Every structure is written in C-alpha cells, then in structure tokens.
C-alpha cells in the first residue's frame, strides 16, 4: 500500500513537472518572439557542441513532425554569395537549409519559425534568407530535397532592430468584438519575418474559426507558415481552429 501510494505521488509529481517545464518553455518562446530580430552580421564565434546538438534535435523533431528535410550546416560559409557578404553580411558560418518535398512551403515556414525562436532561446540570432542565398550550393547540400531558403544562425554582432510593422487593423478583421486571444495572436503575427518585411497577409476571425490569406508571390506559402506559427504562439492554439 505504501509503495503504491509513493508511486502515485511520484507519477503526479512527474506530470506537474512536465506541465511546469512546458509552461516555462512557452514563456521562453514568447519572450524570444519579442526579442528576435533580423541579424545579418555575426561574430566569428563557433556554436558550442552542446548547443549544436540541441539545434539538431529540434531539426529532427520538425522533420519527423512535418515530413521535411531541414538540415543544419555548421562551420560552413557557402550559403551566402560573396557579393552579399561584402555588402550586407559578415561571418555567416552556420545555417539551416529549409528544404522538403514539393508542396511543403507552408510547413517549412512554420518549422522555420520554430527553429528561429528556439535558437533565440539558446542565445543565438537568426536571419531568414529567401532570395539571396547560393541556390546551387544549397541545392547540392539538400540531398535531393527542394530548398525554399536558408536560416542563418549564430552569435550576432548586435541583437538587431525591430522592423516597422503594420497595425492590427491593417492586417486583420474579426466578426464582432475581437476576443483578447485573437488580438494577441495578430500582434504576435506582426512579429513574424516575411519576405521584404511586406507583411502582406490578412487574418480573419469568426467565433473560434480563424483563416489567413497572403498576397500571391513565390514566398506566399512560406510567409503563411511563418505567420501561422507566430499567431498560434500569441493566441494559444487551444483557443481557435484554422479554417481555409
């Protein structure tokens, strides 16, 4: 009897710890969402082995969850063309190859948002590069998968600066008085990186149903995934359902 009681108490305690750790992690991710900014110039400082292992574990989880082929490259400066490095970037030596089968652009955007914020919780900085990466080089490293971009990761010279954002009213509408979770979600969506910082998305809500559209472009589906992840983090995925 005593042993069974101790076992039950231990089980309850383990569950409490799991819930507590999950809440702490979500708080860290939400904080990271506000602290993450685009960083193009990095320190010539390697990412420690232990941190690389955590990043690779996160990559594996995203690949398994969404059927992707994301790959982390370290101590490799081949992602960004020399001309871009000369003008805009510095010491870009680590990056995620955001790749997967055809038709997975949205999932790659979603997973990319997760990796960028997770990297931020580890004290790293990031830069989503959708158009100015070395496509031939990255394609060779993608093991046959289709790359839609790269996410540079490392220790930034600075923490970057907030980008200019649109207002909640400019990118969303709700049928009736908007609940707080919806407003929080839209504010979080405005923190997401999008192509050329255009924020060309629109989120609508009715009851617990939410939908998102993006202006047509080659980056539209990737942008949708990036924005969806941020909206979910801000709104709380338990508060709504995505609809087409």
pLDDT tens, position by position, 3-50 = 544 454 444 344 434 444 555 566 699 999 999 999 999 999 999 999
Give the pTM: 0.88
CA distance 185 to 41: 30
Percent of the chain with pLDDT over 90: 82
What pLDDT does 37 receive?
96
| Chain centre distance of CA 52 | 17
CA-to-CA distance for 68 and 230, rounded, in angstroms? 20
Residues 58 and 2: their CA atoms lie apart, in Å, by 40
Residue 80 φ/ψ region, left for φ over 0, alpha for ψ in the -120 to 50 degree band, beta for the rest: beta
Of the two residues 23 and 150, the one the predictor is more confident about is: 150
Instruction: Specify which residues 154 forms β-bridges with.
Output: 125
Question: Of 19-28, 34-43, 179-188, 223-232, which gets the smallest average pLDDT?
Answer: 19-28
Percent of the chain with pLDDT over 70: 89
Please tell me the distance from the alpha carbon of residue 151 to that of residue 189, in angstroms, as a whole number.
Answer: 19
CA 107 to chain centre: 11
């Amino acid at each position: 009897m005593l042993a069974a009681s101790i076992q039950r108490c231990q089980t309850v305690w383990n569950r409490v710890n799991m819930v507590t750790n999950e809440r702490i992690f979500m708080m860290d991710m939400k904080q990271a969402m506000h602290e993450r900014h685009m960083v193009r110039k990095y320190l010539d400082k390697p990412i420690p082995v232990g941190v690389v292992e955590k990043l690779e574990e996160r990559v594996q989880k995203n690949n398994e969850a969404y059927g992707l082929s994301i790959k982390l490259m370290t101590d490799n400066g081949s992602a960004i063309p020399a001309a871009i490095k000369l003008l805009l970037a510095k010491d870009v030596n680590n990056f995620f190859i955001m790749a997967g089968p055809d038709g997975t652009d949205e999932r790659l955007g979603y997973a990319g948002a997760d990796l960028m914020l997770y990297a931020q919780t580890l004290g790293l900085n990031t830069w989503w590069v959708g158009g100015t990466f070395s496509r031939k080089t990255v394609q060779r490293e993608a093991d046959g998968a289709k790359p839609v971009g790269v996410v540079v990761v490392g220790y930034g010279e600075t923490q970057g600066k907030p980008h200019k954002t649109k207002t909640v009213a400019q990118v969303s509408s709700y049928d009736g008085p908007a609940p707080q979770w919806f407003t929080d979600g839209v504010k979080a969506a405005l923190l997401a990186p999008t192509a050329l910082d255009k924020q060309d998305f629109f989120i609508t809500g009715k009851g617990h149903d939410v939908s998102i559209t993006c202006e047509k472009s080659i980056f539209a589906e990737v942008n949708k995934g990036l924005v969806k992840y941020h909206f979910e983090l801000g709104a709380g995925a338990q508060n709504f359902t995505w609809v087409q």
